[in-house]
Amino acid sequence: MLKKELDEEATKRLKGIAGKWYDQISSATIPYISLPTRTKKNIEYDEKSEVWKYGSRETLRSASSAKGAMHLLKMAHVVGFLKNQIADNRSSTLREMYYISEGWKRAKFSAQDESNMLVEDLEIVTELSREAFHLRPEEDGASVYGSLRIKEQTRRGERIIHCREDVGEAGYPIPSNVDNLEFIDHDAKFVIAMETGGMYARLMENGFDEEYDAILLHLKGQPARSTRRVLKRLNAELGLPVVIFTDGDPWSYRIFASVAYGSIKAAHMSEILATPGAQFIGVQPSDISNYDLPADKLTEGDIAALKAELTDPRFDTEYWRKEINLQLKLGVKSEQQAFASRGLDFVTKEYLPARLSEMGVI
């Protein structure tokens, strides 16, 4: 979609929300808006898009209570603010909007969480991403390294960049708005995304990208939306398989889940954010025992998180049940760099090739 079209669409949908409230008030109906309930219990697997989306449970936000009325007033202010921002061709971050709300008197936000939730609500209702409202994510996207040529629309003109030849050691930093990116060509067979910078650097240093025709991607922990969208696009537009390489602990599995299945917080955006075909390459709990990796004991928080994952519909597969239960039994976790205990080349020469062929990627 062209920027102009997208702006028009976003404006139309924002006005649609206000229009509904206007009609409700005019016909003496207490204004309300209904939103999907945003809890783990209300996410469902969508066969068509192969991602997890919100289910049919809805929460009604109505001005019939003081709290509800206040919420609607704030939402009206946000809608008005975003509509004007699009019209003026300006953009802002969530943080900036939070500060701008200082001038909204009673409608000002009491904490940034509140404005974040509100923007997510608007994404859900309009079925548009926050970028469509000219809201810039604060966090940078992560980095890409490998045989991929891209064209980026920057504020200072078009740039064509090769993600190995034209970049330094850090790779190509993904911009916050990936709608301005275009993939020109590539020479890769798959994408490997890593949780930690250490492993990203290890693969780069060992020339893994060239040896196995891989695009390396650094997730930087829980990946930013732009990072997830790039992964999704690499998978969808270029048809490249995606594998996710993280630490062997419950929090890392959630990183994988948010990439592959979509996150609970952003289930409404799963279709553009999630990469349903992404596969988990490791560290698997079974690897810890098979390779006798150096390990730390699970903390109480880790155990609780693993148990929560057993009730999470996204992890409701035989593979994950087996691995998570095994980990609970072992009572340990390992970092992805733990493979270094078997030598610096072990991970690129032994582990990854073995896993990739097992998974049918190479």
Does 118 engage in binding with other proteins (CB under 8 A)? no
Q: Which two tokens stand for residue 139?
A: 């966090």
What Å distances lie between residue 183 and 18, 147, 148, CA to CA?
Answer: 37, 11, 8
Subset of residues 244 to 303 that bind other proteins, contact rule: CB under 8 A = none
Which residue of the set 22, 32, 45, 99 is catalytic?
99
- CA 10, CA 97: separation in Å to the nearest integer? 17
What span, in angstroms and rounded, lies between the C-alpha atoms of 265 and 260?
A: 14
List Cα–Cα distances, 357 to 70, 212, 281, 351, 352, in angstroms: 56, 11, 11, 10, 8
For the chain, the distance separating the N- and C-terminal CA atoms, rounded to the nearest angstrom, is 35
Rounded least distance, CB 251 to other proteins, Å: 41
Judged by CB under 8 A, which stretch of 68-76, 89-97, 141-149, 248-256 contacts other proteins?
68-76
Judged by CB under 8 A, does residue 164 bind other proteins? no
Three-state SS at 133: helix
Does the protein bind other proteins through residue 100 (CB under 8 A)?
A: no
Using CB under 8 A, pick the residue from 35, 69, 117, 238 that binds other proteins.
69
Check residue 15 for interaction with other proteins (CB under 8 A). Answer: yes
Among 25, 87, 160, 344, binds other proteins (CB under 8 A): 25
Q: What gap in Å lies between CA 65 and CA 34, rounded to an integer? A: 15
Give every CB contact of residue 23 below 8 A, 6+ residues apart in sequence.
none
Q: Does 195 appear as a known binding residue?
A: yes
Of 32 and 346, which CB lies nearer to other proteins in the complex structure?
Answer: 32
Is residue 32 among the annotated active site residues? Answer: no
Binding segment (CB under 8 A) for other proteins, from list 27-35, 163-171, 173-181, 199-207: 27-35
3-state secondary structure of 55: coil
Binding residues: 195, 247
Residue ranges binding other proteins (CB under 8 A): 14-15, 18-19, 21-22, 25-26, 28-31, 63-66, 69-70, 72-73, 76-77, 79-80, 83, 106-107
Catalytic sites, residue numbers: 99
